[in-house]
Amino acid sequence: MVRKMMVVCLGLGILAALAIPGTASAAENDGTVYVVHGIPGVPVDVYVNDAETLPDFQPATVAGPLTLPAGDYNIKILAAGDPATGTPVIEKTVTLPARANVSLVAHLDASGTPVLTAFVNDTAAAPAGEGRLVVRHTAAAPAVDVLANGSPAFTNVTNGQEGQVNLPAGTISASVVATGTTTPVLIGPADVPVEAGMATIVYAIGAPASGSDPSTLGVVTQQIPLTASAMTVNTGTSGLLDGDRGVPTLAIAGIGLALAAFVVSIGGLRRSRTTA
Amino acid sequence: MDSDRTGRFRILTMTAALSAAVIVVVVGFLVLRDPSPRVDRVGTLTPSSGATKPASPAPTVPPVTYPTVPPATASSTVVPTSLVVPSIGIDAPIDGVGIVAGTDEIEVPPIERVGWYRFAGTPGGPGSAVLLGHIDGEGRQGVFFRLGSLEPGDPLQVGLADGTTRSFTVVGRDQFPKAELPPDFFSRGGPSRLVLITCGGSFDESLGRYRDNIVVVAEPAS
């Protein structure tokens, strides 16, 4: 009973605290940021608001998660080792929305120019036992189709675009082809794990062979947890341990007896007063 | 007033007061009593959001190197194979379990065995590793019959398929109506923890099921 009262007091305290404006924690609105390096062959230094945040960040790797307050951030990407005052390979101001989960991807656009794209990751729950496969076109290539186990899963995806689908946990054999074709395969086939409760994000990166330059096409894979979905657990069928059984009937009988005693004694009191 | 009347008056007054007190106490008990006398909330079951939050940085990002996420690899999972909980006498094998097809219900293993929900985390890995077991069935006590008596600080060990053992320490215990079991206990993200689930509360004879779930959370032993 004491515990219940304490809980009630605590509840009132919380209500009182909520009633005071401006006490909400800023952390509730923080966003989550990953940084993906999708430019083959060029290690870089990443500066956030002029502070060196990822020194010597290697191509085809993913960094994070970073928890940051919502707001605008100046992102500068320089060739690794260049002075902070040097000319950035990419410079861009990105907006981190409140509570958003974002992947900042340094990659090539369709014409081969380095750019920074902020993809917002959908972390909504997938059905129980399923995961989410996300594909993102971040390579210096025209529109592509993504084949999953040989069949087109995403079609006519252009640079900077993405597609996603929820799938039962398992492994997908994925390959990338020019849109409307099935050969030649530009990237893959590659085994992509789809894990329940996780988003597996596959980035197509690099550029096709050009003149004497060999193809640098490839993939970077990133996995992030999704919001968990509600589950049901039924692990008892015999009722051997019943927290409530029997208590109410006993208590009700007790109240009945006590009520009867109360009524009788009050009646007696009245008579006793009248006769006094 | 003669002494006989005074005595009777006193007895009746006392009876009235006593019975009123009994009513107040019993009604109070009924109103305030915990729906689950056997399982009290102990310790803390900290919800963890899906996303990991390493720190709360200032608006200007400090020059820190953050860990690089390794590329995803197919099924590098080391599955759990046994659970030992000395304080309540559990020493049981673990089976991987999935979903009852077309539902949100987790499959349950035989009464004497523990189920590891293979669509959440692995013990010692990131996020929640979920183990479930029967409280009872077929008229017998199940492997998790005494789960509700675990206390913070109780040790437990999980054996893995690679022959290694992970040690955990109970940090909290709670009970929820089944429909209100927080999804967060099945999260793939957040800090590493072990979540043990069974049934509890009152038994619904018409459905042949308990109305609540008992949840015990343990963290890697330091």
Q: A93-141: per-residue pLDDT in tens? A: 999 999 999 999 999 999 999 999 999 999 999 998 999 999 999 999 9
Q: Is A109 in the same domain as A202?
A: no
CB A59 within 8 A of CB A39: yes
Nearest to B55, CA basis, from B69, B66, B71: B66
| CA distances (Å), origin A196, targets A171, A221, B106, B186, B194 | 11, 16, 13, 11, 18
Residue A9 lies in a domain: no
Q: Does A229 touch chain B (CB under 8 A)?
A: yes
Phi/psi of residue A101, nearest 5 degrees: -115, 115
CB contact under 8 A, B75 and A193: yes
Q: Is A74 in the same domain as A139?
A: no
Q: Does B59 touch chain A (CB under 8 A)?
A: yes
Shortest distance, CA B110 to any CA of chain A (angstroms)? 10
Q: Does B177 touch chain A (CB under 8 A)?
A: no
pLDDT of residue B15: 72
Mean pLDDT of A33-46: 96
Residue A243 lies in a domain: no
Tens digits of residue pLDDT in A93-103: 999 999 999 99
Q: Which amino acid is at B175?
A: Q
Strands B193-204 vs B128-132: parallel, antiparallel or unpaired: parallel
Q: Which of A59, A94, A120 is the last residue of a domain?
A: A120
Strand partners, A34: A103
Mean pLDDT of A184-197: 92
Domain ranges of chain B: 38-48+78-220
Of the partner residues B23, B66, B98, the one whose CB lies closest to the CB of residue A64: B66
pLDDT of residue B206: 92
- Give the total number of structural domains in chain A: 2
* Site of tokens 């999260």: B187
pLDDT of residue A4: 54
Is the pLDDT reported for residue B39 higher than 60? no
Tokens of A117: 């794209």
Strands A144-148 vs A151-157: parallel, antiparallel or unpaired: antiparallel
**Residue A66 buriedness (CB in 10 A; 0-12 / 13-18 / 19+):** buried
Q: How many CA atoms lie within 13 A of B30 on its CB side?
A: 15
* Residues in chain A within 8 Å Cβ distance of B210: 236, 239, 242
CB contact under 8 A, A229 and B186: yes
Mean pLDDT of B118-140: 94
Q: Please give the residue range of the domain that contains residue A60.
A: 25-120
Q: Does B119 touch chain A (CB under 8 A)?
A: yes
Q: Which of A88, A120, A152 is the last residue of a domain?
A: A120
Q: Which fold has domain B38-48+78-220?
A: Sortase; Chain: A; (2.40.260)
| CA distances (Å), origin A130, targets A127, A226, B64, B97 | 6, 10, 35, 14
Residue A213 lies in a domain: yes
| End-to-end C-alpha distance for chain B, whole angstroms | 77
pLDDT of residue A14: 43
CB B136 within 8 A of CB A241: yes
Shortest distance, CA A118 to any CA of chain B (angstroms)? 17
Tens digits of residue pLDDT in A5-16: 544 444 444 444
Is the pLDDT reported for residue A253 higher than 70? no
Shortest distance, CA B166 to any CA of chain A (angstroms)? 23
- Counted residue by residue, chain B has a size of 222
Residue A262 lies in a domain: no
Q: Does A122 touch chain B (CB under 8 A)?
A: no
Nearest to B48, CA basis, from B129, B105, B149: B129
Q: Is A101 in the same domain as A137?
A: no
pLDDT of residue B10: 75
pLDDT of residue A131: 94
Q: Is A109 in the same domain as A134?
A: no
Q: Is A135 in the same domain as A151?
A: yes
* Residues in chain A within 8 Å Cβ distance of B74: 171, 191, 193
pLDDT of residue A166: 94
Q: What is the DSSP string of A24-35?
A: S-GGGG-EEEEE
Strand partners, A218: A205
A159 or A274: whose pLDDT is higher?
A: A159
Phi/psi of residue B181, nearest 5 degrees: -65, 115
| CA distances (Å), origin B51, targets A31, A32, A87, B189 | 9, 7, 34, 6
Quick one: angle between helices B3-32 and A247-275, nearest 10? 150
CB contact under 8 A, A129 and B98: yes
| End-to-end C-alpha distance for chain A, whole angstroms | 42
Residue A261 lies in a domain: no
Residue A244 lies in a domain: no
Shortest distance, CA A116 to any CA of chain B (angstroms)? 18
Distance between CA B21 and CA A264 in Å, rounded? 15
CA torsion A76→A79→A85→A90, rounded to 10°? Answer: -30
Residue of A nearest to B59 (CA): A69
CATH number reported for the structural domain that contains residue A216 in this entry? 2.60.40
Over pLDDT 70: what percentage of chain A?
80
pLDDT of residue A143: 95
Q: Is A83 in the same domain as A32?
A: yes
Count of A-B CB contacts under 8 Å: 284
Is the pLDDT reported for residue A54 higher than 90? yes
Distance between CA A137 and CA A117 in Å, rounded? 11
Q: Is A136 in the same domain as A176?
A: yes
Mean pLDDT of B58-65: 33
Nearest to A115, CA basis, from A106, A125, A102, A123: A106
In A36-55, the residues whose Cβ lies within 8 Å of chain B are: 48-49, 51-55
Helix, strand, coil shares of chain B as percentages rounded to 5?
Answer: 20, 35, 45
